[in-house]
Structure formats: structure tokens, C-alpha cells
Amino acid sequence: MSSSNKRSSAILLNENRLSDSSVKKVVDVLNAAYAWAVLRGKASINPVTPIKETLMKRIARNNGKTVEEPDVVVLSEEEEKNL
């Protein structure tokens, strides 16, 4: 998955532009469509496969948070320097 696609999916989830169930539905539909295309020789790979597990984990993690808990943890300047 390219870094721009990772950022796009993270933005949609973190900014609440799409609900978790909407993201799951879109991922499931895309996964099924690409799986069908691969089986019929219309596509060489299913690009959803490598991102599906990551997205589902992120959604599950977000579902376990309360409203007060941040989706993004910001590093202090000192923590950033240590990276």
C-alpha cells in the first residue's frame, strides 16, 4: 500500500468522515470484486488483501476507545528527537 493511500484511509477514519461500518462495507465489497477479478484472470492481484487486516485492526482499536481518548497520539519535541 502506498504511503498516500495509508494517509487517505487514516484521514477518513480519524476525521470521522466515514463510519466504521461504512469502511468495513467498502473494504468487503472491494475485496470481493478483486477476488472475483483475480479468479477470472481480469486482475493479477487483489490490492485489498494487504490493507484489509490493517484497516480492520484499526477499526477494532478505534471501537474500543472512549470519546475522551485521542485517535492520534502526538509526540513531544523530546520524543520526536529520540526517533
Mean of pLDDT values over 58-72: 65
Q: Are 53 and 36 in contact (CB under 8 A)?
A: no
Question: What domain count does the chain have?
Answer: 1
- Would you list the DSSP string of 16-73? TSS-HHHHHHHHHHHHHHHHHHHHTTS-S--TTHHHHHHHHHHHHHHHT--TTS-SSP
Residue 76 within any structural domain of the chain: no
Residue 24 has pLDDT above 70, yes or no: yes
Residue 36 clears pLDDT 70, i.e. is over it? yes
What residue numbers bound the domain in which 15 lies? 3-63
Task: Assign 12 a pLDDT band (cuts: 50, 70, 90).
Answer: low
Residue 74 lies in a domain: no
On whether residue 47 sits in a domain, the answer given is yes
pLDDT of residue 1: 46
Decide if 49 is inside a domain: yes
In a domain, 77, yes or no: no
